[in-house]
Amino acid sequence: MTSHGSTRNSTGTNLDPWYHHYADRAAGLSTSEVRALFAVASRPEVVSLAGGMPFVSALPSELIRSSFDRVMTDSGPQALQYGSGQGTPALREQILEIMALEGIHGSVDDVVVTTGSQQGLDLVTKLFINPGDVVLAEAPSYVGAIGVFRSYQAEISHVALDDSGLVPEALRERIAELNAAGKSIKLLYTIPNFHNPAGVTLSRERRLEILEICRDNGILVLEDNPYGLLYFDGPPPQAMRSVEEDGVVYLGSFSKTLAPGFRIGWVLAPHAIKEKLILANESAILSPSSFSQFVVSEYLRTADWKAQIETFRGVYRERRDAMLTALGEHLPELSWTNPNGGFYVWVTLPEELDSKAMLPRAVKELVAYTPGTAFFADGSGQRFIRLSFCYPTSDTIRLGIRRLATVINGELELVNAFSPSGQIATVRQNQNFSAPPPNMS
Amino acid sequence: MTSHGSTRNSTGTNLDPWYHHYADRAAGLSTSEVRALFAVASRPEVVSLAGGMPFVSALPSELIRSSFDRVMTDSGPQALQYGSGQGTPALREQILEIMALEGIHGSVDDVVVTTGSQQGLDLVTKLFINPGDVVLAEAPSYVGAIGVFRSYQAEISHVALDDSGLVPEALRERIAELNAAGKSIKLLYTIPNFHNPAGVTLSRERRLEILEICRDNGILVLEDNPYGLLYFDGPPPQAMRSVEEDGVVYLGSFSKTLAPGFRIGWVLAPHAIKEKLILANESAILSPSSFSQFVVSEYLRTADWKAQIETFRGVYRERRDAMLTALGEHLPELSWTNPNGGFYVWVTLPEELDSKAMLPRAVKELVAYTPGTAFFADGSGQRFIRLSFCYPTSDTIRLGIRRLATVINGELELVNAFSPSGQIATVRQNQNFSAPPPNMS
């Protein structure tokens, strides 16, 4: 072997000797714009309205400490050991209680605990998607879901959304088009409550209509509901899973109602599917973390977790209010969604602006957001930005929106100043502006 | 919607309305024999020599408690938050120190923390395997790896192993056959140290020879090393990764040297590959558990983790000795491997016996083992059983081997009694005996 020489410390080359070795699906793995932003947003002087980190400091750490202490006293060896691939029975029972708050009744047998609900997304996609199969998703949709669907070579087809959520008529039309094209539509992925990134909530009437459309067309609904209990002005309509059992795979999570650091989410699956889901979970990770599950379970058993969720609601409600007020004050010419829960406001820019091209300028002004392009599989969405009010304080949010207004107004002045000379088009081209040129009249 | 009627509580049917909806790869998901055994082995009256659970009670829980307390005091909000998809820098630095004990020198940039090393296996397979691609693996091989490879529709090709591990000449021949058949060989999956299930260790000479064969043939080596530090009579040869950087993906784990309940493992990847691996990790789970990572990291920082590994070595060494002594005493006619570390002894039965068919009888005698068939992708391996000495005490191991001897001797008596009348063949057929009929002469 030594005659071949060691390749140790051979840094400095970007050549990948395994370049031709990757699976076809590896081409779907690319750096998300949100990910790149995490690095930017971590600089302390930047006001980040970009990330989706919950404000875990609103959770008294004493609640976690005392849960942990009891776990180690009562069940240390079990908490440190491998567990079942489905998750602990105690935690699955508690998850049923939580889902009952949104009208869901299911069996403890059909709950599968996962490494965050992201892993639930991954497993369901792995189970159902052949290369080229279609996943329907709202326009816009959760960036992390788009990434998972891509990684299994799904074709992602966006369906229009408005202030009442996914538009049933648009869904019908899209399904008809795809059927006419001979496509295999496997899943409708939807976030009915306090949508990420759009902030809107699907109305009850539409939930029923969409379930019917999907049933009629043999499409499995993947209902992703991490924010449902974090409402501000009143609860959202009951979950789609509450009225349809066999046609809905439901994804839940403790990341927003407790803390993401545990990486504990779950899938409530149609009974026929759950066995395959457990096998897929075991194949991927053997079993979810016993350590995390025991601590979360003990917390749910002994802490007033409903009061804690009420605390989170209060924190996020105040921040949502701060953001909407600041937007009205500093950017009255723009339009935005009015979320009744969750983490996000979706802002529509004047059509002359490009949110992706504007981002470096915003970061220079010490404010970060997520450009709308992150939430469309086809790279559109330049006119939108996602603002998150979950992590920064209300004062910081106000500062961030003021800075954002400076950036946007500066860009608009630039557009107006250069518009007659036609130079803007050149600038846009240099920035790889991929949408049709804006109306310059 | 109500006009369609609710399907709630519609239990009692095994019909799967989504039967035709699954991806092709879902056909690869089937219940492993090991999994079915977990249920059996959990009955307290059964001596289980079947599972692979580490003896976590040998870890003083005070070490975990104090690590957790310091984490919550010093970095509570970070431990409860989302983290980087690659894992925390502090833990990755510590992982480098651990790997250095086996001769591995790498960069903290090339370490990716995963949800147990099982997830590392899953991610690497997802990244490299197209349906029909070949993964070479020892005969026998780790049941959980076979499951992952199947779940991505790999063709698993077993290569002979003997007391010095994988046989290089057999590897050469197999590669030539597969190349001649036009197959695409992507990976060689190997457990060089204290093999699961075979208990053998790959010699240094063979490590170098196998690395050379794989380099010459453009095959990426997937070195799985969960047990390397758990040696009994002296350390194994240095890791394959210690002499070859670009051609080896190395999998490590805290499940055996600390505790599996944290679900913290890692991949040390060739630099060219690691970026894709991080993206695959983010796609699958967003980030590994911060909570687990912080506690493990604090444990490594403050506890005498090398002394703790020495404690584990002592526990497992004593149990290995108990098992080998009991085998020699009660089943002297059998042959078995002599592991210098790890968790497992691999026993060869008399050729008249079928380990899978014998299992129900063993459980009736209150002893469980894993039949060899679990460790071969083609369902062969009936003549072998895997015995694990990791979890039961030495006394329990001795009791289990006595019971196993009763079962085996009873089976042999049965074979001898019925052999002249030819009835054995009938019994075998009824038990779906799938191997060639044993030599009855």
Chain A residues close to B65, C-beta within 8 Å: 68-69, 72
**Within this chain, do residues B165 and B298 fall inside the same structural domain, yes or no?**
yes
Structure tokens of A5? Answer: 């020489």
**Within this chain, do residues B338 and B265 fall inside the same structural domain, yes or no?**
no
Q: Which of A115, A78, A87 is nearest to A278 (CA)?
A: A87
ipTM attached to this prediction: 0.91
**Within this chain, do residues A245 and A124 fall inside the same structural domain, yes or no?**
yes
Chain B residues close to A118, C-beta within 8 Å: 284-286
Say what the pLDDT of residue B421 is: 52
* A222: enclosing H helix or E strand: strand A220-224
CB contact under 8 A, A29 and B280: yes
Write down which residue in B302, B322, B338 finishes a domain.
B302
Chain A residues close to B58, C-beta within 8 Å: none
Residue A15 resides in a domain: no
Chain A residues close to B68, C-beta within 8 Å: 65, 68
Residue A436 resides in a domain: no
Looking at per-residue confidence, does B40 or A256 come out higher?
A256
CB contact under 8 A, B285 and A115: yes
Chain A residues close to B255, C-beta within 8 Å: 82
pLDDT at A160 over 60: yes
CB contact under 8 A, B151 and A22: no
**How close, in Å, is residue B426 to chain A by CA atoms?**
34
Q: How confident is the model at residue A386 (pLDDT cuts 50, 70, 90)?
A: very high
Say what the pLDDT of residue B439 is: 31
**How close, in Å, is residue B274 to chain A by CA atoms?**
11
**How close, in Å, is residue B365 to chain A by CA atoms?**
25
CB contact under 8 A, A22 and B59: no
pLDDT at A431 over 50: no
**Within this chain, do residues A241 and A346 fall inside the same structural domain, yes or no?**
no
Chain B residues close to A112, C-beta within 8 Å: none
Write down which residue in A259, A283, A302 finishes a domain.
A302
Residue A312 resides in a domain: yes
**How close, in Å, is residue B416 to chain A by CA atoms?**
40
- Report DSSP state, residue A231: B
**How close, in Å, is residue A29 to chain B by CA atoms?**
6
Q: Which chain B residue lies closest to A4 (C-alpha atoms)?
A: B212
Say what the pLDDT of residue A38 is: 57
Residue B16 resides in a domain: no
Chain B residues close to A187, C-beta within 8 Å: none
CB contact under 8 A, B59 and A65: no
**Within this chain, do residues A94 and A163 fall inside the same structural domain, yes or no?**
yes
- Smallest Cβ distance to B286: which of A116, A128, A286? A116
Q: How confident is the model at residue A420 (pLDDT cuts 50, 70, 90)?
A: low
**How close, in Å, is residue B131 to chain A by CA atoms?**
9
**Within this chain, do residues A72 and A189 fall inside the same structural domain, yes or no?**
yes
CB contact under 8 A, B276 and A22: yes
Mean pLDDT in residue range A377-406: 97
Q: Which residue of A82, A121, A308 to mutate against B (max B Cβ within 10 Å)?
A: A82
Say what the pLDDT of residue A33 is: 58
Residue B250 resides in a domain: yes
Q: Which residue of B22, B285, B393 to mutate against A (max A Cβ within 10 Å)?
A: B285
pLDDT digits (tens, 9 = 90+) for A321-372: 999 999 999 999 999 999 999 999 999 999 999 999 999 999 999 999 999 9
**Within this chain, do residues A313 and A331 fall inside the same structural domain, yes or no?**
yes
**Within this chain, do residues A287 and A342 fall inside the same structural domain, yes or no?**
no
Q: Which chain B residue lies closest to A291 (C-alpha atoms)?
A: B261
Say what the pLDDT of residue B420 is: 59
The CB density around residue B409, as the number of other CB atoms within 10 Å, is 13
Mean pLDDT in residue range A157-181: 98
pLDDT at A35 over 80: no
CB contact under 8 A, A285 and B263: yes
- Smallest Cβ distance to A17: which of B18, B211, B272? B272
Say what the pLDDT of residue A32 is: 62
Exposed, middle or buried by CB within 10 Å (0-12, 13-18, 19+), for B418? middle
Residue A439 resides in a domain: no
Q: How confident is the model at residue A424 (pLDDT cuts 50, 70, 90)?
A: very low
pLDDT at A158 over 70: yes
Q: How confident is the model at residue A7 (pLDDT cuts 50, 70, 90)?
A: very low
Chain B residues close to A37, C-beta within 8 Å: none
Q: Which chain B residue lies closest to A207 (C-alpha atoms)?
A: B1
CATH of the domain at A355: 3.90.1150.10
Domain that holds residue B290: 62-302
CATH of the domain at A148: 3.40.640.10
pLDDT along chain B (441 residues), means of 10: 37 70 90 62 86 94 96 96 96 98 98 98 98 98 96 98 98 98 98 98 98 98 98 97 97 98 98 95 97 98 98 98 98 97 98 93 94 94 97 98 97 83 40 31 29
Mean pLDDT in residue range A129-156: 97
Chain A residues close to B81, C-beta within 8 Å: 53-54, 56, 259-261
**Within this chain, do residues A152 and A209 fall inside the same structural domain, yes or no?**
yes
Q: Which residue of B19, B22, B32, B80 to mutate against A (max A Cβ within 10 Å)?
A: B80
How many structural domains comprise chain A? 2
Q: Which whole-number Å values give the CA distances from A314 to A149, A256, A309, in the listed order?
A: 34, 14, 9
CB contact under 8 A, B282 and A64: no
Chain B residues close to A205, C-beta within 8 Å: none
Q: Give, to the nearest 10 degrees, the angle between helix B116-128 and helix A271-285.
A: 100
Residue B257 resides in a domain: yes
Say what the pLDDT of residue A433 is: 27
- Count of residues making up chain B: 441
CB contact under 8 A, B65 and A69: yes
**Within this chain, do residues B82 and B152 fall inside the same structural domain, yes or no?**
yes
**How close, in Å, is residue A415 to chain B by CA atoms?**
37
Chain A residues close to B109, C-beta within 8 Å: none
pLDDT digits (tens, 9 = 90+) for A76-102: 999 999 999 999 999 999 999 999 999
CB contact under 8 A, A215 and B79: no
Contact present, B411 and B383 (Cβ < 8 Å): no
Cα A84 from Cα B349, distance rounded (Å): 31
Write down which residue in A285, A302, A319 finishes a domain.
A302
pLDDT at A106 over 90: yes
Say what the pLDDT of residue B29 is: 86
Say what the pLDDT of residue B255 is: 98
Q: Which chain A residue lies closest to B75 (C-alpha atoms)?
A: A61
Q: What residue type is assigned to position B383 of the chain? A: R
Say what the pLDDT of residue A30 is: 77
pLDDT at A289 over 80: yes
**How close, in Å, is residue A413 to chain B by CA atoms?**
38
Chain A residues close to B78, C-beta within 8 Å: 261
Residue B373 resides in a domain: yes
CA atoms B74, B265, B196, B337: torsion sign = negative
**Within this chain, do residues B274 and B189 fall inside the same structural domain, yes or no?**
yes
**Within this chain, do residues A269 and A333 fall inside the same structural domain, yes or no?**
no
Q: For chain B, how big is the Rg over CA atoms in Å? A: 23
CB contact under 8 A, A1 and B273: no
